[in-house]
Amino acid sequence: MDIRALYQEVIMDHNRHPRNHHVMVHKTNEAQGYNPLCGDQLTVYLNIQNNIIEDASFVGCGCAISQASASLMTEALKGRTVEEAHTWFHQFHEMLTEDKPIPTTLNKLVVLAGVKTYPARVKCATLAWHTLEAALKQCTDCVTTESTC
């Protein structure tokens, strides 16, 4: 199996069986995101204690890439610091928009690197991360329009 097929398999698995796909009762942060190009919608929930993301979850609907990206993101965030989350956001965004070597620090998140070859889908993959940034800023009712993409 080549690496691209393997990545595709991980994405489809996360789309079919999304991790952390539920409303969080004991949340400290929350934000909603919408990608009008594709119709993807997400709400991201976080429980942050002492600068550590103790729990992360999401609900939403949309294409396979947007849902898989949110699933992978929430899985990766648990136990990480807020600073690490910001760093990943920037690295993930760069991975999909710039011609640079892919940072190894992104771990499993690199499975979405292939999305770069489909520019129309980049916003699907980054929606979860833009929504995360909004949640970290305690923006509880704003809709990310992804103007920075």
Q: Under the rule (CB under 5 A), what is the footprint of Zn ion?
A: 38, 40, 63, 66, 124
CB of 111 to Zn ion, least distance (A): 16
Q: Which is nearer to Zn ion, 29 or 69 (CB)?
A: 69
Q: Which is nearer to Zn ion, 59 or 63 (CB)?
A: 63
Cα 4 to Cα 87, 112, 115, distances in angstroms: 25, 10, 11
The C-alpha atoms of residue 65 and residue 69 are separated, in whole angstroms, by 6
Name 69's bridge partners: none
- The answer to whether 55 and 22 are in contact (CB under 8 A) is no
CB of 30 to Zn ion, least distance (A): 21
CB of 13 to Zn ion, least distance (A): 17
The C-alpha atoms of residue 18 and residue 110 are separated, in whole angstroms, by 17
Q: Which is nearer to Zn ion, 52 or 59 (CB)?
A: 59
